[in-house]
Chain A
Amino acid sequence: MTTPRAGCAVDADGRITFEVPGAGGLRLLLRLRPKKGQPEEDLHVLDLLAPDSADEGRAQAVLGADPVLAEGRWDVYLLQGTERTRLRPGPRDLRALMDGQLRERRGPLAVRVPYATKDGFLAVRTWLRPAHAEVGPVDVTDRTLTIAARLHGSPLAEGARVELRLRRDNDVTRTLEPQVRADGHAFSYTVDDTLDLDRDPGIWDMFLRPAPGAAPIRLARLLDDVADRKEVFVYPGAVVGGAVVRPYYTVDNDLSLEVKRAG
């Protein structure tokens, strides 16, 4: 038995070139993985073509930077007529994503990171955000933690705020004022005992309101090659007031705080 493998390469704009040996004339199907029990809705079909007629053994399908892919996980299939075969991953050349944090993004942010699923298939992790604040270094001291981030697109306006929301009860919030660097995009904020987080243990999600009244932007780290950051970018906790506060990345690469009463 041979399960077909698809290699892929991503360029800095998010364009993905898939390559499936010997699959010329067939098509590639990308399917947004539906939630359990839901029907599948989002599908993209791409033609697999020989990149040059001299080399019939190769077949490539190009997913341009333009099609807007909904946020989620896209499974990749080889389509033979209507018959689907789920593809296994070949080499994934993601080096163009490595310095993604250094490039300025404008408008809505679309990110695509091909990855291998836990059970060994090729998939593409996608994010689609109307605006984006990228988390950078996280500094943890004994009593505080300081998170540096960068707002892409417009600069932070006067009155910008970072908002912490208790996940189990969204009405419970804390607001703090970020320190904004001279360029208006880079900012940082410090979580300390003045926030009294120990009163509300649990998971706190973090947002930036870039201007008074503006829609909140979820703080996340999306601009590199790491599709699942949770187990790779691991931070220690800090004792902040009466709580141990540990920043961590969610399964969506958003940054949250885990707050436990110190004891």
Chain B
Amino acid sequence: MKISFLLHNAYGIGGTITTTFNLAQTLARRHEVEIISVLRHRELPTFVLDPRVSLRSLVDLREDKEHPSHLRPARVFPRSEYRYGQYSELTDQRIAEALATTDADAVIGTRPGLNVHLAREAPGHVARVGQEHLTLDKHSPRLRTALRRAYRGLDVLTTVTEADAASYRRRMRLPGVRVEALPNSVPDPVLPPADGSAKVVVAAGRLVGLKRYDLLVEAFAAVAAKHPDWQLRIYGKGEEQDRLRRLITDLRLWNNVFLMGPAAPMEAEWVKGSIGAATSDFEPFGMTIVEAMRCGLPVVSTDCPHGPAEIIADGVDGRLVPVGDRDALAAALLELVGDDELRRRMSRAALENARRFAPEPVVEQAEGLIAEAVAARRAGRPVVRGGQGAALSARGSAARDTALAAASGALRLVRKGRS
């Protein structure tokens, strides 16, 4: 098969980019695979891409930034999408053109707005696989309303967790569309796993409020007080950097807690630690949890929706603690820091249990879904007969979202009128 991915920006850093590269690379062992990056802002991608996967971009911001069409708003890419501000008439045109002229058997969209393009603009013979790396619950009612309409044009919709797939089936009526959970995969590590002896806790992610590194730093104060030879390393950059630095200073943790800056790939950094930490309020999947486990680190994570609980077996290969609970987080970290044997046992379990996220099992599932969609398109029939969900509750959700979207629109009007 020829498979084409439609990606927001292949040149940045982020979970969707990593997981798309991983899937594309593994598929490329048996198929012809390309990644179309809608945007590009630098010469080379930050992450290394296997040369078997071809990469091209549609709008190169180094040249097209001031293009007249790029200064006009997008019409196809939905206004309620998170990245709307980065899209334009120019991206609308170039995405439409790329889809109209594609010679791929299947095109895979990797975010809501691109899935909308795919559902509306892909030629009839091309199989359409939409991927959701975020979750339905977190989409605004307006975006949900837009997607509810558009996603009927997809053949397959994948989410990253079972919990989110269940939400789509329950709340969206998508007749003929197969909705399945397809977890992110993490490549087989090239370095030997961590041996549990390093006195280092590692966390990685963008330094944004949602990741709650403030909670992690506060919890680590209890660890540093009892075990001053342990350190916490937080990798990543972002808007919270200065605030986190001040917190580290205020808590007098500058000898124990370090903001390491961004690191890609993280593998060599994970193996320097012996415990991973993930403290988000919300995590659609939890890529770094799997990465850490695949390097032999048990991970202490908040039990936030939706990913962590589908990855970590609490007390076996890591710990799940209530969201936002600093003391529970500190207690779980202290338990692992203070017990070498427990840490090593969980490390072995993490290595073993995280194998289900290796590229092979995940890509086999993806391949099956893509092949099914391609076969259905060729035969001119839907992938599944009828909807997979309960139509009644889906109808209720649709009405609620429409009402909520209208209400928020009215509110905006009122605010506008006032200003």
Please give the residue numbers on chain A whose beta carbons come within 8 Å of chain B beta carbons, in ascending order.
Answer: 2, 5, 7, 91-95, 98-99, 120, 137-138, 140, 225, 231-236
Contacts and interface: CB of A to CB of B under 8 A. Distances in A.
Interface of B: 44, 48, 51, 190-192, 194, 198, 200, 228, 245, 249, 252, 254-255, 258-261, 265, 267-268, 271-272
Residue with the highest number of chain A CB atoms closer than 10 Å, among B228, B260, B268, B271: B268
Residue with the highest number of chain A CB atoms closer than 10 Å, among B191, B254, B261, B267: B254
Nearest to B256: A137
A233 B191 contact: no
30 contacts: A2-B51, A5-B48, A91-B190, A91-B191, A91-B265, A91-B267, A92-B268, A93-B191, A93-B268, A94-B268, A94-B272, A95-B198, A95-B271, A95-B272, A98-B200, A98-B272, A120-B44, A137-B228, A137-B255, A138-B254, A140-B252, A140-B254, A231-B261, A232-B258, A232-B259, A233-B258, A234-B259, A235-B254, A236-B249, A236-B254
A237 to B, nearest CB: 10
A24 to B, nearest CB: 18
A98 B258 contact: no
Nearest to A148: B255
A93 B255 CA distance: 24
Contacts of A138: 254-255
Please report whether the interface of chain A is mostly helix, strand, loop or mixed according to DSSP: loop
Nearest to B190: A91
Contacts of A7: 190
Nearest to A3: B44
Nearest to A2: B51
A231 B191 CA distance: 27
Nearest to B245: A234
B271 A93 contact: yes
Contacts of B260: 232
Contacts of B267: 91
B257 to A, nearest CB: 10
A138 B252 CA distance: 10
Given A93-B268, A234-B259, A236-B254, 20 more contacts: A91-B191, A91-B265, A91-B268, A93-B271, A95-B272, A98-B198, A98-B272, A99-B198, A120-B44, A137-B228, A137-B255, A138-B254, A140-B252, A140-B254, A231-B261, A232-B258, A233-B254, A233-B258, A234-B254, A235-B254
A148 to B, nearest CB: 9
A137 B231 CA distance: 12
Nearest to B197: A99
A126 B321 CA distance: 43
Contacts of B258: 232-233
Contacts of A99: 198
B328 to A, nearest CB: 28
Nearest to A91: B268
Nearest to B259: A232
A231 B259 CA distance: 8
Contacts of A92: 268
A92 B198 CA distance: 17
Contacts of A225: 272
A99 B254 CA distance: 18
B218 to A, nearest CB: 18
Contacts of B191: 91, 93
Contacts of B51: 2
Contacts of B265: 91
